[in-house]
């Protein structure tokens, strides 16, 4: 059994994961000493910001998919799956924002859980799509 490591997909995963979640958390963490802030990810992304990041992640994967040489029906169908999951993830942020705009009580716990789970879905679909793209490129070379 010889495992195959898709380095491009792993690089892509690290880049987006780093820029979307790790860098904001590190920035907040550096300010901990000065302002005494709560640096837990739950506190940082409690308004569903992870869901918004999920939408950008889905869009970037859709753009990447569009540049590939795969069949048009697969590109359209996979873009649809990514687009819908990205929209659902961003809906968690949008719902919380709408509540805040109308002066209603925020459901932080629910928003945090929904955005986290839906980001995981978008992230895993985007990652597997990148792995499949790399695998197809290598197989058809």
Partner 1 sequence: MNPIMTPKQLSPAKVRLSDSAVLAGVISVTYAAALMFLPHAFPEVLQRVFDRGYFFRTIALLLVITNEILFLVICKRRHQKPNLLTLGYIAFLTITLVFVLRMLVMFADEQAQISHVLLHMSGRSAIGSEELLLYTYLGIVSGIFFPYVLVRLTQDYVSRTDSAEPEAKARGGAAGQ
- Residues in contact with partner 1 by CB under 8 A are 1-6, 70-71, 73-74, 77-78, 81, 84-85, 88, 91-92, 113-114, 117-118, 120-121, 123-125, 127-128, 131-132, 135-136, 139-140
- What minimum distance in Å lies between the beta carbon of 13 and partner 1? 10
Q: Which residues contact 45 (CB under 8 A, 6 or more apart)?
A: 21, 112, 115, 116
- What minimum distance in Å lies between the beta carbon of 3 and partner 1? 5
Run of H or E including 128:
helix 108-139
Nearer Cβ to partner 1, position 44 or 91? 91
Q: Is the dihedral of CA 1, 9, 85, 99 positive or negative?
A: positive
Cα 44–chain centre separation: 16
- What minimum distance in Å lies between the beta carbon of 78 and partner 1? 6
CA proximity to 16, closest of 110, 107, 119, 140: 119
* 111 in Cβ contact with 95 (< 8 Å): yes
Nearer Cβ to partner 1, position 44 or 92? 92
Nearer Cβ to partner 1, position 32 or 110? 110
What tokens were used for 120?
Answer: 């995981």
- What minimum distance in Å lies between the beta carbon of 105 and partner 1? 19
Nearer Cβ to partner 1, position 71 or 102? 71
């Amino acid at each position: 059994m010889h495992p195959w490591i898709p380095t491009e997909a792993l690089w892509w995963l690290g880049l987006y994961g780093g820029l979307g979640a790790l860098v904001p958390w590190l920035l907040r963490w550096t300010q901990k000493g000065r302002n005494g802030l709560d640096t837990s990810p739950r506190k940082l992304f409690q308004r569903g910001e992870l869901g918004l990041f999920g939408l950008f992640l889905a869009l970037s994967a859709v753009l990447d998919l569009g540049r590939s040489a795969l069949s048009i029906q697969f590109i359209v169908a996979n873009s649809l799956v990514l687009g819908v999951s990205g929209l659902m993830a961003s809906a968690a942020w949008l719902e919380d924002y709408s509540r805040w705009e109308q002066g209603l009580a925020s459901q932080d716990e629910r928003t945090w859980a929904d955005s986290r789970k839906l980001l995981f879905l978008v992230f895993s679909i985007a990652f597997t799509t990148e792995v499949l793209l790399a695998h197809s490129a290598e197989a058809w070379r």
